[in-house]
């Protein structure tokens, strides 16, 4: 019998000073059995960085053809495709062909450096691709089945916090 996804409920209050975006979002996330809490929370951080009323979480690890997050236009075209981790070059190329804008957030420092060195030259040909390294420590400690998080974004730095803990996330652009 296959393991089922774990459901997380999230009340996310976003104050994005960089984009002048101030909203509350009630989100439901599914964490695939093979997904870590760190990756789940990176998806939350990516949501906060691109927050929009129509931004949705993809099917995630259970579907290779789906992004971590997506923003679709009313016409059905994909405006924004967001991936987290270290997607292979074929996946990124496919995403760049399907979406107007593609963003990849890598977050494991050592693994990201190796992944970037292997793919940077191939990624340069994609004009609609942005790649950023997230510097995070302790983000997985914020994960709980029911969460109420506050997010402040200022100067490219993200602060995620609950009533007891805080995590600072630095965003370093690798490619724009």
**What percentage of the chain has pLDDT greater than the value 70?**
96
The structure tokens listed for 59 are: 């099917």
Pairing of strands 21-31, 55-57: unpaired
Specify the 3-state DSSP secondary structure of 100.
strand
pLDDT band per the 50, 70, 90 thresholds, residue 138? confident
Is position 16 within any domain? Answer: yes
Domain range for 140 is: 6-157
User: What is the rounded CA–CA span in Å between residue 17 and residue 21?
Assistant: 7
Is position 166 within any domain? Answer: no
Is position 142 within any domain? Answer: yes
Is position 171 within any domain? Answer: no
How are strands ordered across the β-sheet holding 55-57?
21-31, 6-16, 146-154, 157-161, 166-175, 129-135, 99-106, 78-84, 69-72, 55-57
Number of structural domains in the chain: 1
Is position 170 within any domain? Answer: no
pLDDT, tens digit, 9 for 90 and up, residues 12-67: 999 999 999 999 999 999 888 889 999 999 999 999 999 999 999 987 655 667 89
Is position 137 within any domain? Answer: yes
Read off φ and ψ for residue 126, nearest 5 degrees.
-95, 105
**CB contact at 8 A, 73 and 87:** no
Residue 137: its pLDDT value, please? 84
Is position 153 within any domain? Answer: yes
pTM for this prediction = 0.93
Is position 163 within any domain? Answer: no
* CATH number for position 147: 3.10.640.10
Residue 63: its pLDDT value, please? 61
**CB contact at 8 A, 106 and 115:** yes
Look-up of token digits 């870590």 = 36
């Amino acid at each position: 019998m296959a393991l089922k996804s774990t459901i997380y409920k999230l009340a996310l209050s976003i104050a994005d000073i960089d984009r002048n975006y101030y909203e509350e979002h009630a989100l439901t996330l599914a964490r695939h059995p093979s997904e870590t809490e760190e990756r789940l929370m990176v998806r939350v951080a990516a949501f906060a960085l691109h927050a929009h009323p129509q931004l949705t979480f993809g099917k995630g690890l259970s579907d290779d053809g789906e992004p971590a997050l997506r923003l679709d236009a009313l016409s059905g075209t994909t405006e924004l495709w967001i991936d987290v981790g270290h997607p292979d070059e074929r996946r990124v190329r496919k995403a760049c062909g399907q979406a107007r804008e593609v963003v990849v957030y890598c977050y494991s420092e050592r693994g990201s450096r190796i992944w970037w060195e292997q793919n940077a030259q191939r990624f340069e040909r994609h004009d609609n691709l942005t790649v950023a390294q997230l510097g995070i420590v302790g983000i997985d400690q914020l994960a709980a089945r029911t969460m109420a998080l506050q997010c402040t974004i200022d100067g490219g730095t993200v602060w995620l916090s609950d009533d007891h803990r805080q995590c600072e996330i630095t965003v370093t652009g690798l490619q724009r």
